[in-house]
């Protein structure tokens, strides 16, 4: 059975289910239709040990106060909008403010806090879960009734593929991502020790102290932001670089080199041999090294917190409506937003 559906809890009068997808080839995932949250993602390491590579929580109640957006789908606009303000054709809009006077990850009630409609799909070797919702016109200040559809598929070649699509009846902005916290040594390993990261990026966008891009697009050459040769994460989280020091690690938007569907990053765990490659057709990716993740008890009694994991949030640039030289998250009425990201697993 590639998909097993079990009751997970209640959100108001809605029942939330947990869907277990298994491609029969080594990759399996537990996903709930509250927030589209990936609770568990299992892959066998080089010794055949089934390893859950994402941080998570135990109960639906824990996910109601999901500080850090663990595993969740993020929308309508992932990352930050300064002051929540943006304009479309001269008209100003105000997105919900929820972080230091700015809008983060869709505002106060983002897509991470919605119960999505869910439909099982795909084949035994490539099971899919199709999640959809309607975000009404004006929700969190965003214009247009937006129909959103996100399809999670475990492919036969061991990728978790996420296809995002959306259509609005008014011009709006859309920037969708997933906020999984990866630790290839396992969700309960505590640190990122022995994990290396390569990023296919020659440029990044530095931030002001509110983690808002300054508008500059800088070369990574000779800086702590140069991941074009894979390097170990842990020792670099305290690199003597003003940007890294300001955030206690990485919380930055990397511009992915090239165009179309391409490799964005490759992470590897030297200890257990698990390799994860991220591919996307998005222009950029936020590397967030869980600098602000609250210390505490997470799923199955695991202790997690600062630097316990890394997020690779494929996206359009943050606060991009402000800058002409940034790609634009504008979605015109009737047009289709369509992006794809995959996290592909193998061992070496
Ligand atoms: C942001 C961080 C934030 C984290 C959790 C990331 O996408 O860039 O600044 O702390 O999400 O909210």
At residue 2, the pLDDT reads: 81
DSSP string, 82-105: GGGEEEETTEEEEPPP-BTTBEET
Catalytic residue among 126, 268, 313, 342: 313
Cα-trace Rg, the chain:
19
Per-residue pLDDT reduced to its tens digit, 318-338: 999 999 999 999 999 999 999
| Nearest CA residue ID for atom 6, ligand 1 | 288
At residue 1, the pLDDT reads: 52
If you measure from the C-alpha of residue 311 to the centroid of ligand 1, how many angstroms do you get, rounded to a whole number? 9
Distance of CA 308 to the CA centre of its chain: 16
- The atom of ligand 1 lying closest to the CA of 104 is 12
Distance of CA 262 to the CA centre of its chain: 17
Is the CB of residue 7 less than 8 Å from the CB of residue 108?
no
Mean pLDDT score of the chain, rounded to an integer?
97
pTM, 2 dp: 0.98
CB 106 less than 6 A from any atom of ligand 1: no
Is the CB of residue 226 less than 8 Å from the CB of residue 243?
no
Catalytic residue among 105, 179, 252, 307: 179
Q: List C-alpha distances in Å: 214 to 24, 27, 86, 243.
A: 46, 40, 16, 12
CB 292 less than 6 A from any atom of ligand 1: yes
Q: Is 336 a catalytic residue?
A: no
Measure the CA–CA gap between 198 and 205, rounded to whole angstroms.
Answer: 17
Per-residue pLDDT reduced to its tens digit, 107-129: 999 999 999 999 999 999 999 99
Is the CB of residue 159 less than 8 Å from the CB of residue 149?
no
User: Which distant-in-sequence residues (6+ apart) come within 8 Å of 77 by Cβ?
Assistant: 95, 103, 105, 106, 142, 173, 174, 175, 329
If you measure from the C-alpha of residue 46 to the centroid of ligand 1, how many angstroms do you get, rounded to a whole number? 32
- The atom of ligand 1 lying closest to the CA of 68 is 5
If you measure from the C-alpha of residue 84 to the centroid of ligand 1, how many angstroms do you get, rounded to a whole number? 16
Per-residue pLDDT reduced to its tens digit, 217-259: 999 999 999 999 999 999 999 999 999 999 999 999 999 999 9
**3-state DSSP assignment of residue 322:** helix
Q: Is 313 a catalytic residue?
A: yes
**Looking at residue 156, what DSSP letter applies?**
T
Per-residue pLDDT reduced to its tens digit, 250-266: 999 999 999 999 999 99
Mutate to test the pocket of ligand 1, among 77, 104, 249 (most ligand atoms within 8 A of CB): 104
CB 187 less than 6 A from any atom of ligand 1: no
- The atom of ligand 1 lying closest to the CA of 291 is 10
CB 286 less than 6 A from any atom of ligand 1: yes
Measure the CA–CA gap between 101 and 98, rounded to whole angstroms.
Answer: 7
Per-residue pLDDT reduced to its tens digit, 125-180: 999 999 999 999 999 999 999 999 999 999 999 999 999 999 999 999 999 999 99
User: Which distant-in-sequence residues (6+ apart) come within 8 Å of 90 by Cβ?
Assistant: none
Q: List C-alpha distances in Å: 282 to 56, 176, 178, 329.
A: 25, 10, 13, 11
Per-residue pLDDT reduced to its tens digit, 14-49: 999 999 999 999 999 999 999 999 999 999 999 999
At residue 323, the pLDDT reads: 95
Beta bridge partners of 303: 297
CB 250 less than 6 A from any atom of ligand 1: no
Q: What is the mean pLDDT of residues 64-79?
A: 97
Q: What percent of the chain has pLDDT over 90?
A: 99
């Amino acid at each position: 059975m590639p998909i097993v559906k079990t009751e997970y809890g209640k959100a108001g009068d809605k029942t939330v289910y947990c869907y277990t997808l298994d491609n029969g080839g080594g990759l399996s995932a537990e996903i709930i239709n509250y927030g589209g949250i990936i609770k568990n993602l299992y892959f066998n390491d080089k010794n055949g040990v089934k390893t859950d590579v994402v941080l998570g929580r135990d109960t639906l109640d824990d996910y109601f106060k999901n500080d850090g957006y663990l595993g969740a789908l993020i929308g309508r606009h992932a990352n930050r909008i300064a002051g929540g303000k943006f304009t479309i054709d001269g008209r100003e809009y105000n997105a919900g403010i929820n972080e230091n006077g700015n809008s983060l990850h869709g505002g106060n009630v983002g897509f991470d806090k919605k119960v999505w409609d869910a439909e099982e799909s795909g084949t035994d070797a490539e099971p899919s879960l199709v999640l959809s919702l309607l975000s009404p016109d004006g929700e969190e200040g965003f214009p247009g009734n937006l129909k959103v559809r996100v399809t999670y598929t475990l492919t036969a070649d061991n990728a978790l593929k996420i296809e995002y699509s959306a259509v609005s009846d008014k011009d709006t902005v859309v920037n969708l991502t997933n906020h999984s916290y990866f630790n290839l040594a396992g969700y309960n390993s505590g640190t990122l020790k022995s994990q290396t990261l390569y990023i296919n990026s020659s440029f990044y966008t530095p931030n002001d102290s509110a983690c808002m891009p300054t508008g500059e697009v800088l070369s990574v050459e000779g800086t702590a932001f140069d991941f074009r040769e894979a390097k170990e994460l842990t020792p670099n989280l305290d690199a003597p670089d003003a940007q890294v020091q300001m955030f206690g690690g990485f919380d930055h938007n990397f511009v992915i080199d090239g165009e179309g569907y391409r490799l964005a990053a490759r992470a590897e765990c030297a200890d257990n041999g698990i390799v994860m490659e991220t591919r996307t057709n998005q222009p950029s990716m936020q590397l967030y090294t869980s600098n602000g993740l609250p210390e505490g008890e997470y799923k199955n009694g695991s202790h997690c917190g600062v630097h316990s994991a890394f997020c690779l949030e494929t996206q359009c640039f943050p606060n991009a409506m402000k800058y002409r030289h940034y790609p634009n998250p504008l979605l015109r009425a009737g047009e289709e937003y369509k992006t794809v990201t995959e996290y592909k697993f193998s061992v070496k």
